[in-house]
Structure 1
Amino acid sequence: MAARCGRALAKVGYTFLDAPPSLRAGTGARLAAYRAYATGSTGSSGSSGARSGLALSARTAATGGGLLAAALLGAGLGLYHSVKRGQQRHFAQDKPAQAEGGAMKLVLYQYKTCPFCSKVRAFLDYHGLPYDIVEVNPVMRKEIKWSTYRKVPILMVDEDVQLNDSSVIISSLKSRLISTDKSMSEILSCYPELKSKNERGKEVVEYMNKYWLMLNEADALRLYPEKSVQKEEMKWRQWADDWLVHLISPNVYRTTDEALASFDYIVREGKFSSFEGFFAKYVGAAAMFIISKRLKSKHNLQEDVRQDLYKAVNDWISAIGKKRKFMGGDGPNLADLSVFGVLRVMEGLQAFDDMMSNTKVKHWYQRMERATQNHEGRK
């Protein structure tokens, strides 16, 4: 039993190290996809058969890579609520919400403490979209055994369209809420896969256009009256995926005490036997303490990783400036929701308390909490 658990922990730990750098889609390809979408000529990929194959295919890219580790060995990142097993129903209010683009049945397969899954939840909550949650066991992953795509988040739309990658999920849903004349399959066809190999020779998949919204010219102009607004949103969404998320584990596992505190959450909130709880807490904490040092080196972080976290958060607040409540102005945009989703997985841990005390993020963060809890994006 101990050996089996040890192998699982080691596998999870090293999976985290596989996180690939984001692949940049060429401008020409983005414009071609946009033009095809706006004119309604998505080519062969736009046919119902091809779209169905794309939608149901699970051979798509992971959101940020290493999400298995972010959930199991990174589960203490933000387990500030009890882990809910099975399937749960989330309503914006007492009654199901009617989305701008019509009601959609949404089922989110997730790890509670995965920062990429947290991003998706932040988007859904802000827009008041009701959704079901299926909590996935990060070792066996039986809940997604039906899919050849073995990572989270996965969002199923109306039971037949599968969305993978947190940024693609957010971009395609936002596009659907605005472009009510387009089906989700049509929108999804504008986010094709790009396959490559990472530094360890493992095949990874990314998506083209994943920070772009697929809108016609009129809708794009209404949402982004100035091109600089769109560029700013896309820049900081990518920053959240490529940089901010990599600061989480090194900070929550910075010391042995912090690593133990993180895994104490798992043991208290999870379902463990006495032996499994002991093993998970102490062996898991030790493993992630060691792995966090490797992550610090991999991402060229300072000796005191808190300083990198403080700088990143303050850079974000400086970009918003003193005249705006959010980067989106009076209300959050997709960059606000992404950054908030990543940061909140640290709630309840020392790293989060230190961040709130030593940076200027507190007031923005509190505004984001209210905006998502009150579903202010429903308007």
Structure 2
Amino acid sequence: MNILREVLKGKNKNEYNITLYQYQVCPFCCKVRAYLDFNQIPYKIIEVNPLFKSEIKFSKDYRKVPIVVIDGLINNQLNDSSRIITHLNDVLDETKTMNTKDTVKWRKWVDDTFVHTLAPNIYRTNEEAVEAFEYISEQNGFSWFQKQAVLYGGSFTMYAVAKRLKKKYGIEDEREAIFSCGKKWINEAVLPNGRFHGGDKPDLADLAAYGILTSIEGLRTFNELTKEVPQLGAWYDMMKRTVPKCSGIKINK
């Protein structure tokens, strides 16, 4: 996006003035945060209520998250996690070392396959759906009434959605599907290249896989996945040590 390059040209990262509209545990939002944090780009966070979405009422034609708003950009809105990351990376990574052809292939696999195993797992049963939304409600800065609406309305809705997603993506056994993806990522993407897919340091494929997995850290699914695929847990821990803590500042509570 040449316009974005022109807007950010000559500015240091502290001057980008980026605002991220997100759900705290949305895997696609987590991908964007992982990229921004890894590159130590400061940003502001607007937490969007997943039921009412009043925070993104300015976005008439696009009602999903993440949305990134950059001051100075005409129609200053970037949509879709992979497009957001690609456009920002085109500005920051002029040598394109973080986004090789193989990296693009694995980023697409994360978006098209790996991420779609998450919801059918974390909302697999009513009990797990409530457990997941208890965690979600704790992570967001919502009022007590908003938390109750998200907890009970959201868990019921996502339990039903997870069943539809399972059918849509041809998933027969939820746990086996995510275990298989974890093994594929480690055995085919990471181990042939070294510590990370990017070799000695993470590239955009590492950040994509890590980002989506941060959305389920602390949940039953994550614990079972890293127990089943210990090398995935080891890679995840290395990523966690490599990616700085969140540099985003929440500006709504």
TMscore range, shorter length: 0.7 to 0.9
Preserved contact between residue 130 and residue 151 of structure 2 (Cα < 8 Å): yes
Residue 263 of structure 1 deviates from its aligned partner by: 2.2
| Cα distance in structure 2, aligned partners of 1:282 and 1:173 | 37
Structure 2 letter corresponding to 1:324: G
| Cα distance in structure 2, aligned partners of 1:321 and 1:116 | 25
Bigger relative contact order (CA 8 A; separation at least 6): 2
Preserved contact between residue 154 and residue 162 of structure 1 (Cα < 8 Å): yes
| Cα distance in structure 1, aligned partners of 2:68 and 2:25 | 16
- 1:145–1:351: structure 2 CA closer, same or farther, 3 Å change rule? same
| Cα distance in structure 2, aligned partners of 1:374 and 1:140 | 29
Aligned length: 234
Q: Show the counterpart of 2:53.
A: 141
Preserved contact between residue 116 and residue 341 of structure 1 (Cα < 8 Å): yes
Structure 2 letter corresponding to 1:369: K
| Cα distance in structure 2, aligned partners of 1:331 and 1:232 | 15
Structure 1 letter corresponding to 2:238: R
For residue 326 of structure 1, give the secondary structure of its aligned residue in structure 2: coil
Q: Show the counterpart of 2:218.
A: 348
Q: Show the counterpart of 1:8.
A: none
Q: Show the counterpart of 2:84.
A: 169
For residue 133 of structure 1, give the secondary structure of its aligned residue in structure 2: strand
Q: Show the counterpart of 1:373.
A: 244
Name structure 1 gaps, 5 residues minimum: 1-36, 38-45, 56-96, 180-218
Preserved contact between residue 340 and residue 365 of structure 1 (Cα < 8 Å): yes
Structure 2 letter corresponding to 1:272: W
TM-score by length of 1: 0.56
Structure 2 letter corresponding to 1:174: N
Q: Show the counterpart of 2:184.
A: 315
- 1:108–1:364: structure 2 CA closer, same or farther, 3 Å change rule? same
Residue 266 of structure 1 deviates from its aligned partner by: 4.2
- Match of residue 174, structure 2, among 305, 318, 335: 305
For residue 331 of structure 1, give the secondary structure of its aligned residue in structure 2: coil
Preserved contact between residue 50 and residue 150 of structure 2 (Cα < 8 Å): no
For residue 273 of structure 1, give the secondary structure of its aligned residue in structure 2: helix
Q: Show the counterpart of 1:121.
A: 33
Preserved contact between residue 98 and residue 129 of structure 1 (Cα < 8 Å): no
Deviations 1:142-182 (A, max 9, x none): 22222223222111223433211111111111111134xxx
| Cα distance in structure 2, aligned partners of 1:280 and 1:104 | 33
| Cα distance in structure 2, aligned partners of 1:267 and 1:333 | 31
Residue 71 (structure 2) pairs with residue 158 (structure 1): yes
Q: Show the counterpart of 2:233.
A: 362
Q: Show the counterpart of 2:200.
A: 330
CA RMSD of aligned residues (A): 2.7
| Cα distance in structure 1, aligned partners of 2:59 and 2:153 | 30
| Cα distance in structure 2, aligned partners of 1:258 and 1:164 | 30
Preserved contact between residue 259 and residue 289 of structure 1 (Cα < 8 Å): yes
- Match of residue 111, structure 1, among 20, 23, 40: 23
Residue 294 of structure 1 deviates from its aligned partner by: 2.1
Q: Show the counterpart of 2:145.
A: 273
For residue 368 of structure 1, give the secondary structure of its aligned residue in structure 2: helix
Q: Give the 5 Å matches for 1:38-57.
A: none
| Cα distance in structure 2, aligned partners of 1:238 and 1:267 | 30
Structure 2 letter corresponding to 1:327: H
| Cα distance in structure 2, aligned partners of 1:280 and 1:336 | 31
Name structure 2 gaps, 5 residues minimum: 247-253
| Cα distance in structure 2, aligned partners of 1:233 and 1:129 | 22
Deviations 1:60-89 (A, max 9, x none): xxxxxxxxxxxxxxxxxxxxxxxxxxxxxx
Preserved contact between residue 113 and residue 345 of structure 1 (Cα < 8 Å): yes
Q: Show the counterpart of 1:67.
A: none
Preserved contact between residue 22 and residue 67 of structure 2 (Cα < 8 Å): yes
Preserved contact between residue 108 and residue 134 of structure 1 (Cα < 8 Å): yes
- 1:103–1:284: structure 2 CA closer, same or farther, 3 Å change rule? closer
| Cα distance in structure 2, aligned partners of 1:284 and 1:108 | 22
| Cα distance in structure 1, aligned partners of 2:138 and 2:82 | 31
Q: Give the 5 Å matches for 1:209-220.
A: 219-220=95-96
